Structure 1
Amino acid sequence: MSAATSPSERRVSARIGAISESATLAVDAKAKALKAAGRPVIGFGAGEPDFPTPGYIVDAAVEACRNPKYHRYTPAGGLPELKAAIAEKTLRDSGYQVDASQILVTNGGKQAIYEAFAAILDPGDEVIVPAPYWTTYPESIRLAGGVPVEVVADETTGYRVSVEQLEAARTERTKVVLFVSPSNPTGAVYSEADAKAIGEWAVEHGLWVLTDEIYEHLVYGTAKFTSLPALVPALRDKCIVVNGVAKTYAMTGWRVGWLIGPKDVVKAATNLQSHATSNVSNVAQVAALAAVSGNLDAVAEMRTAFDRRRQTIVRMLNEIDGVLCPEPEGAFYAYPSVKALLGKEIRGKRPATSVELAALILDEAEVAVVPGEAFGTPGYLRLSYALGDEDLVEGVSRLQKLLGEATD
């Protein structure tokens, strides 16, 4: 071993050095920096509602700030009253009955995902990850010592994987299958029949399932959200549900998520959190308590706006020659294929990848989008339509003008 690669000389550990930066946050940060510098950039990068957190939730947080009870440490696994309320909310919204002892309150959904994988994976365990995937999933798996195994779906299936694809990816090292519906980045929603088939396949082969339900209330048209452990009761002893208040209640910055699972796994994950961060901010937990205990009127208003924007962005994107955008059924993302544009000349350049095309779009149209490479599928772009209607139309109009110039 040379001195340059010896452990004593390595400044950053190999494990942490291998982590990729969050592409979605990087795009959002660049767009905001350009806007701060005076450029009229329109950002489609960030996956967060453009609405303020509802007032009654903010009021609850203000009151919590004044209460000395919340000025001190609280249980690492979450406020007991919040865990009880999450259990009630889960039954109300998902038809899934759980006990408060099966819940761990985390610093956002990302911590819940990492701690879930860390609690059940040993080095070399494989996790089947349908792609396109959210950027954090494979990184969390690797950090926990696991190996992500990608199964790719494209626009021809509405970005939904089949049981046959999952079975083809299963090996003797497979321990977990990731299930996300509605999906980030595609907006895909699995039918009840398809979700049930995947859950029953997992039970048949003794696999764990981690299911991310963060977009449960953002579904459109005839699509319906179904909670996998409620749909397939036999799965419950090997299922971990991840959720949070970020998307439903426009609370991305409050950083409150949770995981639900078997008691032994939740206890193990709680032990991990007790050493990593201890309790989530009490003020944020009280705000989350108000959110999950309240009604869903605020999300109904947001969903109406998102649905309108969804229809607009899909129509406008499909008006561009070389762009194919399936209609998303959930979340707030459009995921168009731009493969037909790659290699074509646009303002003197010939972008060969969606990374290069996204860079060209930012430079020439001052529109920020996230390339498909960030989600495991080159040749696509992700656009969040969680932004104002006027900005959305202006931003896609700029794309229409720029990409309409593409020539062979």
Structure 2
Amino acid sequence: MTLATPSGTAAGTSRPRISQRIGSITESATLAVDAKAKALKAAGRPVIGFGAGEPDFPTPDYIVQAAAAACSDPKNHRYTPAGGLLELKEAIAAKTARDTGYQVEPTQVLVTNGGKQAVYQAFATIIDDGDDVMLPAPYWTTYPESIRLAGGSPVEVLADETSGYRVTVDQLEAARTERTKALLFCSPSNPTGAVYSPDEVRAIGQWAHQHGIWVITDEIYEHLVYGGATFSSMPVEVPELADTCIVVNGVAKTYAMTGWRVGWLIAPNDVTKAATNMQSHATSNVANVSQRAALAAVSGDLSAVATMRDAFDRRRQTIVEMLNAIDGVVCPEPEGAFYAYPSVKGVLGREIAGRTPNTSVELAELILTEAEVAVVPGEAFGPSGYLRLSYALGDDDLAEGVGRIQRLLS
């Protein structure tokens, strides 16, 4: 039996107990904030959480009923193909053509345990040690960790509030090196809610194709766009990019199914086959009951989605108006997803409740302590000076939570 020493190494050896690759990973900041908020609420504190990107709606009934029926069918009690049920892969291909215009074959689809697994396996399949991956910032907190796990190096390309949090081709070109292998693209964006126009999507896709750069495009918020914004799928805007493009998606956000854990990637056949081989050793098939639920979701109409989108749109307008009413806060209007990403640079350095926060981490901690409101600091997504607030929560809680922040910072 090997005993641990206080230094974290095994007795009799200088080798660390935890591998360097895993030991360097940081905890998901959004899930950590959500967990802390829930723990405080369980302890009786009236905490309002803006941390997790999780719709507050229940999964639509017809999807739940499909899952309940699947539980009683013995064929779902056994192993199924590691890459996903054929019926589901066919339905995902049909749904993709219906919703985005991208025509793909079921053989190009790999069903994964949520969108996070799809993101990681996409990087793991095409990235080698030493490859650079361009990462527009602000970025979802999981992206850089997935890149590092795959042996790559994330190269941040910053877009701030003055550009609506959208990077340009000129910025990408300035960051490109001979080691650049891929670009992570996300529109609508987590954490900013930014939506790239069709022209912007086309320009970035053409630039990537010109330089032989892979694009991993995260389309999980495809149905959550507002006002005059339009969702554009990059391989549709730039068909010639299809052979070096991986699309990541899932049912979590569109159908309020975060807990069901079903995502997918769509890629050229050789990439999908390689990623499927990897998954056959890592997790095998996604839970069959969840796959049957996802089959009902992607095969059904989008009426339930429209209802949720209307509510998110209403909340979006409320939260932006309330945040911009705070002195020192600048919040561009998000055009998609369900996040507001205000700049709080004008608040930092100001004395608040007897303390002077100089970073958004310090400000988020102060807001939680003094106002009992949980928000995620900008450091989780890139530079300091920002907060992310998910408006996927009830209207009353939203108004009360931002109202508390207003009173604290006024």
Q: Into which bin does the TM-score normalised by the smaller protein fall?
A: over 0.9
> Which residue of the partner structure matches residue 127 of structure 1?
133
Task: Give the letter aligned to residue 392 of structure 2.
Answer: A
- Counterpart CA distance in 1 for 2:239 and 2:32 is 39
CA shift, 1:162, in A, is 0.2
> Which residue of the partner structure matches residue 196 of structure 1?
202
Q: Does 1:230 align with 2:241?
A: no
Alignment RMSD: 1.0
> Which residue of the partner structure matches residue 149 of structure 1?
155
> Which residue of the partner structure matches residue 378 of structure 2?
372
Query: Over residues 334-358 of structure 1, what are the superposed CA-to-partner deviations in whole Å (9 max), with x where a residue is unaligned?
Result: 0000001111100110001000000
Query: Over residues 106-137 of structure 1, what are the superposed CA-to-partner deviations in whole Å (9 max), with x where a residue is unaligned?
Result: 00000000000000000000000000000000
CA shift, 1:5, in A, is 6.7
Query: Over residues 282-311 of structure 1, what are the superposed CA-to-partner deviations in whole Å (9 max), with x where a residue is unaligned?
Result: 000000000000000000000000000000
CA shift, 1:8, in A, is 5.3
CA shift, 1:11, in A, is 1.2
Q: Does 1:322 align with 2:303?
A: no
CA shift, 1:10, in A, is 1.1
CA shift in 2, pair 1:145/1:56, >3 Å: same
- Counterpart CA distance in 2 for 1:151 and 1:45 is 24
SS in structure 2 of the partner of residue 235 of structure 1: helix
> Which residue of the partner structure matches residue 66 of structure 1?
72
> Which residue of the partner structure matches residue 164 of structure 1?
170
> Which residue of the partner structure matches residue 37 of structure 1?
43
SS in structure 1 of the partner of residue 346 of structure 2: helix
Query: Over residues 234-283 of structure 1, what are the superposed CA-to-partner deviations in whole Å (9 max), with x where a residue is unaligned?
Result: 00000000000000000000000000000000000000000000000000
Q: In the comparison of the two structures, how many residue pairs are matched?
A: 402
CA shift, 1:4, in A, is 7.5
Query: Over residues 186-224 of structure 1, what are the superposed CA-to-partner deviations in whole Å (9 max), with x where a residue is unaligned?
Result: 000000001100000001001100000000000000000
CA shift, 1:380, in A, is 0.1
> Which residue of the partner structure matches residue 260 of structure 1?
266
Aligned partner of 1:184 among 178, 186, 190 = 190
Question: TM-score scaled to structure 2, two decimals?
Answer: 0.97
Task: Give the letter aligned to residue 248 of structure 1.
Answer: T
> Which residue of the partner structure matches residue 53 of structure 1?
59
SS in structure 1 of the partner of residue 185 of structure 2: strand
Task: Give the letter aligned to residue 399 of structure 1.
Answer: I
> Which residue of the partner structure matches residue 392 of structure 1?
398
Q: Does 1:81 align with 2:116?
A: no
Aligned partner of 1:248 among 245, 254, 265 = 254
Aligned partner of 2:300 among 294, 309, 321 = 294
CA shift, 1:377, in A, is 1.9
Correspondence 1:208-219 to 2 at 5 A: 208-219=214-225
Query: Over residues 60-113 of structure 1, what are the superposed CA-to-partner deviations in whole Å (9 max), with x where a residue is unaligned?
Result: 000000000100000000000000000000000010000000000000000000
> Which residue of the partner structure matches residue 33 of structure 2?
27
Aligned structure 1 segments of 4 or more residues deviating by more than 6 angstroms: 3-7
- Counterpart CA distance in 2 for 1:122 and 1:374 is 25
- Counterpart CA distance in 2 for 1:262 and 1:37 is 49
Query: Over residues 159-207 of structure 1, what are the superposed CA-to-partner deviations in whole Å (9 max), with x where a residue is unaligned?
Result: 0000000000000000001111000000000000011000000010011
**Percent identical residues:** 77
- Counterpart CA distance in 1 for 2:383 and 2:356 is 20
Q: Does 1:11 align with 2:17?
A: yes
SS in structure 2 of the partner of residue 211 of structure 1: strand
Task: Give the letter aligned to residue 102 of structure 1.
Answer: Q
Asked whether the equivalents of residues 255 and 305 of structure 2 are also in contact (C-alpha less than 8 Å), the reply is yes
> Which residue of the partner structure matches residue 99 of structure 1?
105
Task: Give the letter aligned to residue 201 of structure 2.
Answer: A
Asked whether the equivalents of residues 119 and 143 of structure 2 are also in contact (C-alpha less than 8 Å), the reply is yes
SS in structure 2 of the partner of residue 324 of structure 1: coil
CA shift, 1:9, in A, is 3.6
- Counterpart CA distance in 1 for 2:141 and 2:394 is 25
Task: Give the letter aligned to residue 163 of structure 2.
Answer: T
SS in structure 1 of the partner of residue 136 of structure 2: strand
> Which residue of the partner structure matches residue 4 of structure 2?
none
Gaps of 5+ in 2: 1-6
- Counterpart CA distance in 2 for 1:331 and 1:8 is 47
Asked whether the equivalents of residues 182 and 215 of structure 2 are also in contact (C-alpha less than 8 Å), the reply is yes
